[in-house]
Structure 1
């Protein structure tokens, strides 16, 4: 591989520093039909795509989320701002967790806070979580940079022509192991949660 080590690290850290999220005030203050939902999500989450032809959310996906109790059903075929916030959460979780795990995770939140006109709302929860995650970006970037530097200390006894590939592999393995461990922790936490009762399903 011909990628310069310093350039690669800088590119990674730059992409992390540009991570952002859809703010509640960016979501239209009116209920949306399905086509409007998919269009908004496509535009709002476009920067998260790996490939330009990737689909963020399709009609089939959204219908399946409602059928699987991840998402409260639309009202007269229209989706509220709270539906949109739930869909954003689902979009990020679906790459890591099973549908069943997301359902278990969402059930108590949806029952207590979805459509809640008094006290804490889904918007409040979304804002709090996103601000917390945003505050962790610098810490996460430093951790990734450390893993990258540590990977450069591996395979130092092999020919230089083989070193770059092996060190890159070591770096990816380190990141993958980190994801694996955290996924295990998340699953164990979800396993401690009560089974969904679907009381929120209309």
Structure 2
């Protein structure tokens, strides 16, 4: 587990689509896919994995995760939403993502949101999250080493790795469950407004 810093470097955790990288002109689907592939290719687990496909984009449109496109072109706002979807789908279901972004889509259509400002805040938080994660991960490695070292029969690199994996998945599940509860609150609020 001493190689955890190498693992972190390989993950390309800092990868994000910045506002500066998003063209000011509308893009065709193939251009959108190429932009995402270029930006997030190092984040893929396997070389054959796709970051974004035509089917995914069409499903986002059909599922109303993004507001309707014009003339087969995707705007800067669409790209920001797709960037958010790309991150959200790592932990949330498509239905949860739709519930989360429905209000955002409505605000974009009605021009009731400064999306650039919102997205900048999101990017600032993700950068801070990566820094916090690195510190937390170092602490987790220490905790696992202390747990395993105390049990001389189980002091093996394999068991340390299994314990670390189990701990990381548990933490991931805790964060995901809180996120799901927050999505449920959005859904409940929307239902209450509809019935008033």
TM-score range, shorter chain: 0.7 to 0.9
Distance 1:17 1:142, change over 3 A: farther
1:147 lines up with 2:147 in the alignment: no
* TM-score, normalization by structure 1: 0.85
Give the aligned partner of residue 12 of structure 1. 7
Post-superposition shift, 1:24?
1.1
Partner SS, residue 153 of structure 1: helix
* Counterpart in the other structure of 2:35: 40
CA separation in 2, counterparts of 1:68 and 1:120? Answer: 22
Counterpart residue number, 2:194: none
Rounded to whole Å, the distance in 2 between the matches of 1:94 and 1:105 is 12
State TM-score, norm by structure 2. 0.87
- Deviation (angstroms), 1:20: 2.9
The reply on whether 1:123 has 2:116 as its aligned counterpart is: yes
Q: 1:17 to 1:59 in 2, by over 3 A?
A: closer
Note closer, same or farther for the CA distance 1:120–1:73 as it changes in structure 2 (3 Å cut): closer
Alignment correspondent of 2:178: 185
Alpha-carbon offset, residue 165 of structure 1: 0.8
Q: CA, structure 1 residues 115+91, in 2 after alignment: closer, same or farther (shift >3 Å)? A: farther
Kindly indicate whether the alpha-carbon contact (under 8 Å) linking 2:19 and 2:116 is maintained by their aligned counterparts in 1: yes
Structure 2 partner of 1:200: none
In the TM superposition, residue 104 of structure 1 has moved relative to its aligned partner by 0.5
Determine the structure 2 residue equivalent to 1:111. 106
Task: Specify every segment of 5 or more residues in structure 1 that has no aligned partner in the other structure, as ranges.
Answer: 198-202
| Structure 2 residue 23 is matched with structure 1 residue 28 | yes
User: Does structure 1 retain, via aligned residues, the 8 Å contact 2:12–2:42?
Assistant: no
| Structure 2 residue ranges without an equivalent (≥5) | 192-196
**How far off its partner does 1:114 sit?**
4.7
- Checking the alignment, whether the CA contact within 8 Å between 1:20 and 1:134 is kept in structure 2 is no
Change (3 A) 1:17 1:68: closer
Quick check: 2:108–2:115 contact (8 Å CA) kept in 1?
A: yes
Structure 2 distance, partners of 1:123, 1:134, is 16
- Name the one with the larger helix percent: 2
2:126 to 108, 128, 133: 133
RMSD over equivalenced CA pairs, Å: 2.1
1:132-169 deviation line (CA, Å, top 9, x unaligned): 22123222111011011111122333447x62111111
Within 1, Cα distance between the matches of 2:34 and 2:94? 23
**Which region of structure 1 is more displaced relative to structure 2, 11-20 or 170-179?**
11-20
